[in-house]
Structure 1
Amino acid sequence: MTTAHRPPSHQLLPASLHEGARVLDPAKGREGIAQFIGPWEDPEPRRIVPCAVFMRPEGGGIEWTVPPGPVREAETR
């Protein structure tokens, strides 16, 4: 998907960051698969996050969320 065809919330993200991509969360030092990228309401503070990235460990496990800024494409194995 080209940047021009992405939803407005995704337009500033690098093209390598898309659902299904293997990415690195440098803040936690973890790699995972991007499961969802988009707006999300954080239930604890009841705050809207305009563009959150939900990640899951490769092979399954517990999801976690990160802001899209620090997330980058993982090194190829």
Structure 2
Amino acid sequence: MGFEKPPTMLSHGKLPYPAGTLVADTTSERTGHLVGVIEERTKDGGRVVSCQAFMRPQGGGLEWDVPLDRIKPVEGQS
């Protein structure tokens, strides 16, 4: 008998900065514009399991996601 993950659901989460803010992933140092946040929550109780920030590269291109706690605004740029 293994550990069973509780059922979860995805929803939009609160943005830590305004949409379009230039942010950096503190681990990879990759930069992009903040597009949105997706939260994964348990169906029973609504406990947050994970939060992912979605970023788009400057000038356009494919979005990517990183854990929300790894992003910070890029200083002195818009």
> TM-score scaled by structure 2?
0.59
Flag structure 2 segments of 5+ consecutive residues without an equivalent. 1-12, 41-47
Task: Tell me the C-alpha RMSD between the 2 structures.
Answer: 2.4
Residue of structure 2 in register with 1:61 after alignment: 61
Q: What displacement does 1:28 show?
A: 1.4
Runs of 4+ in 1 over 3 A off after TM superposition: none
Match for 2:39: what amino acid?
A: P
- Structure having the larger proportion of residues in strand: 2
Matched length:
58
Question: Percent of aligned positions with the same letter in both sequences?
Answer: 34
> TM-score scaled by structure 1?
0.60
Q: What displacement does 1:49 show?
A: 5.7
Between Structure 1 and Structure 2, whose CA radius of gyration is higher? 2
